Amino acid sequence: MNRKVSVAPMMDCTDRHERYFLRLISKNVLLYTEMVVDEAINRGDKKKLLEFNINEKPVALQLGGSSPKLLSEATKVGEDFGYDEINLNLGCPSKKVEKNKFGACLMKEPNLVADCLSKMQSVTKLPVTIKTRIGYDNVEDYETFYKFISTIKSTGVKTFIIHARKAMLGKFTPKQNLNIPPLKYDYVYNLKKDFPEDEIIINGGITEVEQVKQHLKKTDGVMIGRSAYHTPYILADIEKEIFDNENIPSRQEVIEQLIPYVKDELKKGTRLNQIMRHTLGLFHGQSGASHWKRYLSENMCVRDADVKKIDHIMDKIKYNNIDNSVGQSA
């Protein structure tokens, strides 16, 4: 699987509608689901939680949990639904996930993590990967991080996605944890040197294509987070400059291709705002972008959005002088 560039799992962001939208821009980046808790899969509505459009592929399922049994069962379900990879969340720092014993707090229990990963791999032929941080609270030395990764590696896991910040458990909000702990890219670079045969993917604070290029000189892949959500057309630049793909749709063409999907989803009971909220940043940095955001905010990103507005959306692009050419996203 090509993991040269991927879009990070982000709660309330990378749902199936967002992934379909992003796939219209980029054919090559690997997409991830929001984190789905193992117990929810085993006890809840599996179809509602896991069903996705085949056009989203390749797409990876991220799981949250700490029970080897529940995680293995959820892994098997994920494989049956057609996902291309199963990823275990070892990096989320929120109080909610710590209370329920999954996410970054599991860095404190490497042997439990190893048990979970061994059990997950035993029930699937799919690659099982992890996404983690470089440390937690006051535990941030490279030696401890190295030992943690070594323990995971002993289970057979070969792909490690590293957010190059430590997690401050219970002290910062999730948003603060994305910004306040300093980035230590050298930890990830050193990890690649220490484990040259494994796939090391770097994440954290990456907002420009030039950064992607520089990180790819020292790691196997780059995972982009918030910039892919707030300025999604950055993926067009990545297609062109990283994957040498010149066949990139303009912003207007992306919306034109999205409309049939929107209409199909509306017939199924999906609300218009559930889809269109993801497109707010499509014209970021372009002339006339404010018209686009205002129109969406007033007509499509509200709970009782008028579905008839979808038929007029292209007029807003054409007649408000919104620049939709292929090029830099910001």
Whether a cis peptide bond, with omega within 30° of 0, leads into 58 is yes
How far apart, in whole angstroms, are the C-alpha atoms of residue 308 and residue 312? 8
Structure-block tokens of residue 105: 């707090």
- Catalytic annotation, pick one of 13, 92, 116, 301: 92
d(CA 7, CA 103): 18
Longest dimension (CA), the chain: 60
Catalytic-residue membership of 92 = yes
| Amino acid identity, position 88 | L
Structure tokens at 82: 């057609």
Whole-number Å distance between alpha carbons of 288 and 207: 22
- SS3 state of residue 294: helix
C-beta atoms surrounding 171 within 10 Å: 13
Give the residue ranges of DSSP H helices in 9-141. 16-25, 38-43, 46-50, 68-81, 95-99, 110-122
Q: Which residues contact 220 (CB under 8 A, 6 or more apart)?
A: 3, 4, 192, 199, 200, 201
Residue type, 237: D
Which residues have a catalytic role annotated? 92
